Amino acid sequence: VYLRAWQDFDHHTLILTEAPEPGLAHIGWRVATREDALDLERKVEDAGLATRWIEGSEITGHGDALRFFTPGGLPFEVYWEVSPVDPPEEMRSLMPSHPSRRTHYGAAPRRVDHVTFAVDDVVLEQRFLTDVCGIRHNYYSQTGDERWGSWMSCNNLSHEIALIRGATNGHGMLHHVAYYADSVEDVLRCADLLVDHGYGLEWGPGKHGTSGATFLYFREPSGNRVEVWTGGLLIFAPDWKAIEWGGDVQPLGNSYWSTPMPDSFVEGTSLPRDLAVAP
C-alpha cells in the first residue's frame, strides 16, 4: 500500500508491505540528478561501505536507486526520478499548486516531516551523515560527554533525520516516522481520535525544547512508533552551527513542559528487514 499525506508532492511517502513481523525495508532519499547519486556512491565506497543498485519500476515508485547500509546499519536508498502525483479526479485540488485536496477524515496531517532512528553510536553515525552524505547537523543533546541524540536536515526544517542512542548491535532501528499537522489543535484532535478508537498514546501531547515543536507519539497496530507534530524552528542561516543541548537544560530539550518521557521511548521499533547484507 502506497501512502502519502494530502500535501505530499511525491507519489508516496510511505510504503507498507505485508510481512510476518514489523521491519524496516529502507528509507529513501531523493537527490537532484543521477550525477549526485553517482557522486554519493563514490563517497560511500570511499568510506569503506558496500553499495548496490536496484532498477526503477512501478513497484519501487521511482527510477533506479543506489542502496547501502550506513555505518550504524540504516538501510538507505537514494534515487532522483519520481513519478508525478496524479490523484484521481475526486481528490484533485482547485489550486494548481496543490498536489491534492485537503482530506477531512482522520488526523489528516499535511505532509511527511522526518524519520528518527536508534543507533549504537550517535556521533559516528552523525559524522557519516554529515561528512559523507552532506546532511547538515542542526542540534544535539548531550548527557555529560555522551551524545544522546542528533538532529539533521538538508533543507530548512529543524530535522529531516534524527538519531537517538539505543542498543542495536550495529543494526540501526527505526524509532519513529513523523507527519506534520498544521496546528496544535490538530495535534490535540489526533490525540482524541487515537484514544476514541482504542489506540492510546505513548508520549504527549508535549513540547520538545530542541525544535520547539508540539508532539504526540503513538504506535500503529504492528508496533511502529508514529509522531504527529506541529511548529518547530526553521533554519535559514547558510552558516548554521550545530547547537548543543547539554548540562542542566538537557532534559528540557526532550520535554519542555515536563510531560514525562516514558521508558519505552528509548526503544527502536523495527529492525532493518534485510539484515543479511547489513554490516
Nearer to Fe ion, 99 or 172 (CB): 172
Nearer to Fe ion, 186 or 227 (CB): 227
Order of all β-strands in the sheet with 51-54: 27-30, 75-79, 65-69, 51-54
Nearer to Fe ion, 73 or 204 (CB): 204
- Neighbour count for residue 37 (Cβ, 10 Å): 21
Phi, psi torsion values for 123, nearest 5 degrees: -65, -45
Which range touches Fe ion (CB under 5 A), out of 71-79, 171-179, 186-194, 271-279? 171-179
Exposed / middle / buried, residue 165 (Cβ in 10 Å: 0-12, 13-18, 19+): buried
**Minimum distance from residue 159 beta carbon to Fe ion (Å):** 7
Nearer to Fe ion, 71 or 206 (CB): 206
Which range touches Fe ion (CB under 5 A), out of 1-9, 23-31, 174-182, 266-274? 174-182
**Minimum distance from residue 175 beta carbon to Fe ion (Å):** 8
Residues that bind Fe ion (rule: CB under 5 A) add up to a total of 2
Which of the residues 177 through 236 are near Fe ion (CB under 5 A)? 178, 227
Nearer to Fe ion, 7 or 211 (CB): 211
Note the residues at the interface with Fe ion (CB under 5 A).
Answer: 178, 227
